[in-house]
Amino acid sequence: MQHIKHFIDGELVDPASGSYLDNIEPATGAAYSFVADGDTEDVDRAVAAAVRAFPTWSVTPAEERSQILLKLAQLIENRLEDFARAESVDTGKPIAAARTIDIPRAIKNFRFFATAILHFQSESHATDHVALNYTLRRPRGVACLISPWNLPLYLFSWKVAPALAVGNTAIGKPSELAPMTAFMLSELCEEAGIPPGVLNIVHGLGRKVGPALTEHPDINTVSFTGGTATGADIARRAGPTFKKLALELGGKNPNVIFADADLDAALEAAIRSAFSNQGQVCLCGSRIFVEGAAYESFVDRFVAEVRKLRLGDPLAPDTQQGALISREHRDKVLRYIELASDDGGTIRCGGRAPNPVNDRCRDGFFVEPTVVTDLPVDCRVNREEIFGPVVTITPFETEDEVVSYANDTDYGLSASLWTENLSRAHRIADRIACGTIWVNCWMLRDLRVPFGGMKHSGVGREGGEEALRFFTEPKNICVKL
Ligand code: TXE
């Protein structure tokens, strides 16, 4: 079986300890490769390499850095099918999704930031006729980039691309549950022309490698996407050395549908938004609120459509619902479904770990797409992030009522609003406490917009100029005229 090695100082290397962890294929429940079990020694070597590489990379002309990242994008694109298959095997996601969403977006991330850096501007402020201020934005140094398992290469590249584009060096830490495509990326770095030490990738358990990174004195920037509890741990550890932090955490996103909306479009998007990637996307709309007049018929049509979703072997081309990431996660999702029943919810469809989808997937981690109604808005199932194929639907009557429902959670990542009433759309968009509000759409992404969450969904924003600013240090220079 393949060994997923660290990438340190331009070389693929074994972990210092010599030990590897099983890497499980979620669709089968069986180990299919090994991933390096990294520790402090590996982190120290990677950080030392990044520190050595920084002085040269940080003054490499932007155009040259841009060319290197464009080449990397091209090399991934040349192997798109290999990357898509690897992502599907590693995560259990349908191969069609990996082929059309995950890998194309990773390529786009590199192209976007490779070209954005050529247009990056900094500010100047003329103080009457007395002084001129101008702001330099220089790379900060060594960044640590910690990414999760749900959209592995997509989110890893979302951090690597801007960090390197502006001239930082970096240590990437992919999730131990889905490390394969980051490993494949490391195999392309030399051919793309990334100098040794500029990008290092340390694999292994979050609880071991994570603190070694977030407490490291030579790392001054941390960008993290993952669970809220992990984000809190990172903030605690990074605080004492004043590292600059961007935390993109969980969500419990409301999808608010008024009776005057284009209900066909709302229905189609609500299904995608609840069940994309088996509900394992931080932006998934896991709480649907439907205005009373449209509620009953919406629920009936929604359930009928959800029943048609094809759950199957992630490698089958027509599969729409694959496996969840791990046995533990599958069990956690099933516990929430039990809790929904205990709290008086009606399971309209799904609710179980299905019978084997085929012989190969007999022991895989599957859960049927599940729709729950009749739950109180303030129950745990409606307030906590399940991160699985479970959606609740609740009726509402007034704008005030639905705004209070939408905001009745510790999270504040995104929301969707469906209405043909323009002023109502603007009014409610302003009142829902989320970093992103989609009106009459979901997941319509423009990579230039600020992306991130309020409340427990995170700190800071990624995307476009926000990312370029995050990964640089502003210095104001004031010249008296
Ligand atoms: O994520 P973790 P988990 C949510 C979702 C899920 C829950 C837990 O609700 O059920 O989080 O998922 C690394 N210091 N999201 O436990 O642990 C880890 O190795 C530093 C939302 O799998 O947050 C991995 O690389 N790093 C989400 C990364 O953090 C640590 C996506 C994310 O793993 C660490 C995924 C530590 N102490 C889960 N512990 C989103 N926002 O999209 C772990 N890691």
100-159 residue pLDDT tens:
999 999 999 999 999 999 999 999 999 999 999 999 999 999 999 999 999 999 999 999
Q: Whose CA is nearest to atom 3 of ligand 1?
A: 227
d(CA 296, CA 217): 57
In the numeric block, the tokens 């009776």 are attached to 259
Q: What is the DSSP letter of 462?
A: B
Residues 309 and 227 in one domain: no
- pLDDT bin (cut points 50, 70, 90) of residue 364 is very high
Residue 306 alpha carbon to ligand 1 centre in Å? 28
Report whether 395 contacts 244 (CB < 8 A): no
CA 430 to chain centre: 25
Q: What is the DSSP letter of 44?
A: H
- pLDDT bin (cut points 50, 70, 90) of residue 221 is very high
Residue 230 alpha carbon to ligand 1 centre in Å? 6
* pLDDT single digits (tens) 53-90: 999 999 999 999 999 999 999 999 999 999 999 999 99
Nearest CA-CA partner of 322 in 258, 268, 388: 388
Residues 59 and 192 in one domain: yes
Note the pLDDT of residue 84.
Answer: 98
- The atom number, within ligand 1, closest to the CA of 282 reads 42
Note the pLDDT of residue 263.
Answer: 98
Task: Note whether residue 241 is domain-resident.
Answer: yes
Note the pLDDT of residue 418.
Answer: 98
For this structure, is 64 an active site residue?
no
Note the pLDDT of residue 308.
Answer: 98
- The atom number, within ligand 1, closest to the CA of 204 reads 19
At residue 77, φ and ψ (nearest 5 deg) are: -60, -35
In one-letter notation, the amino acid at residue 331 is D
Residues 220 and 264 in one domain: no
Q: Whose CA is nearest to atom 27 of ligand 1?
A: 226
Task: Note whether residue 308 is domain-resident.
Answer: yes
Note the pLDDT of residue 420.
Answer: 98
Alpha helices in 132-252 (DSSP H): 152-165, 180-186, 189-192, 206-214, 228-238
Mean pLDDT over 360-379 rounds to 98
What are residue 476's DSSP bridge partners? 135
167 vs 142, 146, 192, CA distance in Å?
Answer: 10, 18, 16
In the numeric block, the tokens 């619902």 are attached to 321
Residues 359 and 404 in one domain: yes
Nearest CA-CA partner of 462 in 224, 279, 260, 195: 224
Q: What is the DSSP letter of 238?
A: H
The domain spanning residue 131 has which CATH number?
3.40.605.10
14 vs 20, 202, 206, 358, 472, CA distance in Å?
Answer: 9, 10, 18, 36, 32
Task: Note whether residue 368 is domain-resident.
Answer: yes
Residues 262 and 328 in one domain: yes
Domain count, the chain: 2
Task: Note whether residue 452 is domain-resident.
Answer: no
Note the pLDDT of residue 190.
Answer: 98
Note the pLDDT of residue 139.
Answer: 98
The first and second tokens of residue 347, run together, are: 């399971």
434 vs 186, 279, 437, CA distance in Å?
Answer: 35, 19, 7
d(CA 383, CA 380): 5
Protein residues with CB under 6 Å of any ligand 1 atom: 146-150, 173, 175-176, 206-207, 210-211, 214, 225-227, 230, 233-234, 248-250, 282, 385, 387
Residues 134 and 194 in one domain: yes
Residues 299 and 436 in one domain: yes
The domain spanning residue 442 has which CATH number?
3.40.309.10
In one-letter notation, the amino acid at residue 449 is V
Note the pLDDT of residue 189.
Answer: 98
- pLDDT bin (cut points 50, 70, 90) of residue 163 is very high
HSE, side-chain direction, 13 A CA sphere, residue 253? 33
Mean pLDDT over 207-226 rounds to 98
Nearest CA-CA partner of 252 in 412, 459, 372: 412
- pLDDT bin (cut points 50, 70, 90) of residue 194 is very high
Task: Note whether residue 399 is domain-resident.
Answer: yes
Note the pLDDT of residue 323.
Answer: 98
Residues 127 and 154 in one domain: yes
Task: Note whether residue 451 is domain-resident.
Answer: no
Among 158, 230, 277, say which to mutate for ligand 1: greatest number of ligand atoms within 8 Å of CB. Answer: 230
* pLDDT single digits (tens) 382-436: 999 999 999 999 999 999 999 999 999 999 999 999 999 999 999 999 999 999 9
Report whether 178 contacts 151 (CB < 8 A): no
d(CA 226, CA 477): 37
Mean pLDDT over 1-26 rounds to 98
Note the pLDDT of residue 291.
Answer: 98
d(CA 166, CA 429): 33
Residues 345 and 474 in one domain: no
Residue 79 alpha carbon to ligand 1 centre in Å? 28
| Cα dihedral value 364, 368, 372, 378, nearest 10 | 20
- Domain ranges, residue 434: 254-446
480 vs 124, 129, 477, CA distance in Å?
Answer: 14, 9, 10
Residue 176 alpha carbon to ligand 1 centre in Å? 10
**The pTM of the whole model exceeds 0.95:** yes
- pLDDT bin (cut points 50, 70, 90) of residue 52 is very high
* pLDDT single digits (tens) 295-344: 999 999 999 999 999 999 999 999 999 999 999 999 999 999 999 999 99
Note the pLDDT of residue 385.
Answer: 97
Residues 40 and 103 in one domain: yes
The first and second tokens of residue 365, run together, are: 């981690």
Residue 408 CB burial class (10 angstroms; 0-12, 13-18, ≥19) = middle
Active-site annotation holder among 25, 87, 176, 248: 248
Residues 320 and 351 in one domain: yes
d(CA 426, CA 406): 15
Residues 259 and 294 in one domain: yes
* pLDDT single digits (tens) 235-270: 999 999 999 999 999 999 999 999 999 999 999 999
Residue 386 alpha carbon to ligand 1 centre in Å? 13
The DSSP bridge pattern shows strands 370-373 and 390-396 to be parallel
- The atom number, within ligand 1, closest to the CA of 231 reads 23
For this structure, is 385 an active site residue?
no
At residue 138, φ and ψ (nearest 5 deg) are: -105, 155
- pLDDT bin (cut points 50, 70, 90) of residue 210 is very high
